[in-house]
């Protein structure tokens, strides 16, 4: 590399870092992001899972060829392993099935752990097949709905969905590493991302 190329590369890194917010996570790691914390999002303390739902998770993951570890991460994120959980949008149970999705999947009681896990894992498998095995698109579709992800063929620029995908992928070891891209947002803020525009 020439001195000019080194200078340009250094400037790009500095510009990218200026637009980033540095924060310490609850585990003591340093997080650099361009997404400010949302006041409306409450941080839940980590749940200690005792394995109570493992028989159902393992059975349905084997039946639908899904990884039980991925499903556990999704359940932890979705409901903190609370089978009675209900979201502001009306999603229900361990895997937070929307009423319409539960009905389509034939889940009669979304608060029943076995039915909820079976429906959630089957839905996840359908999405995985729909998006050609792309984990990020599958997770985005699970969170934001398959319609929007199918239309744009990428993770939508919805802060909650992007945070959801990042949360699950960062905790799941089965996800392939992706390249980093430097870009500018619509407002001109530098952004380092693993999602090409």
Contact 175, 169 (CB under 8 A): yes
Per-residue pLDDT tens for 102-161? Answer: 999 999 999 999 999 999 999 999 999 999 999 999 999 999 999 999 999 999 999 999
Q: For residues 15 and 59, state if they share a domain.
A: no
What is the spatial distance between Cα 68 and Cα 74, in angstroms, rounded to a whole number? 10
β-bridge pairing 181-184 and 30-33: unpaired
Q: For residues 166 and 187, state if they share a domain.
A: no
DSSP string, 1-42: --HHHHHHHHHHHHHHHHT-EEEE-TTS-EEEESSPPPTTPP
In a domain, 155, yes or no: yes
Total structural domains within the chain = 2
User: Active-site residues: which are they?
Assistant: 78
Length, in residues, of the chain: 197
Domain span at 101: 54-171
Q: For residues 19 and 88, state if they share a domain.
A: no
Q: Which residue has the higher pLDDT, 73 or 177?
A: 73
In a domain, 49, yes or no: no
Q: For residues 17 and 76, state if they share a domain.
A: no
**Domain harbouring 159, CATH code:** 1.10.530.10
Per the DSSP assignment, residues forming a β-bridge with 183 are 191
In a domain, 189, yes or no: yes
Q: For residues 29 and 81, state if they share a domain.
A: no
> Residue 162, CB half-sphere, CA atoms under 13 Å: how many?
14
Q: For residues 15 and 96, state if they share a domain.
A: no
- Is pLDDT of 81 > 70? yes
In a domain, 158, yes or no: yes
Q: Where are the alpha helices (DSSP H) in the chain?
A: 3-18, 54-63, 68-79, 99-105, 113-130, 135-144, 146-152, 159-171
Q: For residues 30 and 121, state if they share a domain.
A: no
pLDDT of residue 184: 74
Q: For residues 24 and 120, state if they share a domain.
A: no
Confidence of residue 45 (pLDDT cuts 50, 70, 90): very low
The contacts of residue 95 (CB under 8 Å, 6+ apart) are 71, 74, 75, 78, 79, 116, 117, 119, 120, 121, 123
Q: For residues 25 and 72, state if they share a domain.
A: no
In a domain, 46, yes or no: no
Q: For residues 71 and 127, state if they share a domain.
A: yes
Coil, strand or helix at 102? helix
Q: For residues 16 and 103, state if they share a domain.
A: no
What is the spatial distance between Cα 115 and Cα 94, in angstroms, rounded to a whole number? 10
In the predicted model, what is the mean pLDDT of the chain? 82
Q: Can you state the angle between helices 159-171 and 135-144, rounded to 10 degrees?
A: 130
In a domain, 113, yes or no: yes
Q: For residues 99 and 29, state if they share a domain.
A: no
């Amino acid at each position: 590399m020439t001195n000019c190329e080194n200078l340009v590369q250094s400037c790009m890194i500095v510009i990218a870092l200026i637009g980033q917010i540095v924060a310490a996570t609850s585990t003591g790691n340093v997080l650099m992001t361009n997404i400010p914390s949302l006041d409306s999002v409450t941080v839940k303390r980590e749940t200690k899972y005792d394995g109570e739902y493992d028989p159902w998770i393992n059975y349905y993951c084997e039946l639908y060829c899904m990884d039980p570890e991925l499903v556990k991460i999704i359940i932890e994120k979705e409901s903190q392993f609370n089978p009675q959980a209900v979201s502001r949008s009306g999603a229900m149970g361990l895997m937070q099935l929307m009423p319409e999705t539960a009905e389509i999947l034939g889940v009669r009681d979304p608060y029943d752990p076995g039915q909820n896990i079976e429906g959630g894992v089957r839905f996840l498998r359908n999405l995985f097949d729909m998006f050609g095995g792309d984990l990020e698109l599958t997770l985005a579709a699970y969170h934001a709905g398959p319609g929007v992800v199918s239309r744009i063929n990428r993770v939508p620029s919805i802060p909650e969905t992007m945070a959801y995908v990042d949360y699950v992928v960062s905790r799941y070891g089965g996800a392939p590493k992706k390249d980093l891209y430097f870009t500018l947002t619509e407002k001109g803020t530098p952004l380092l991302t693993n999602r090409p525009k």
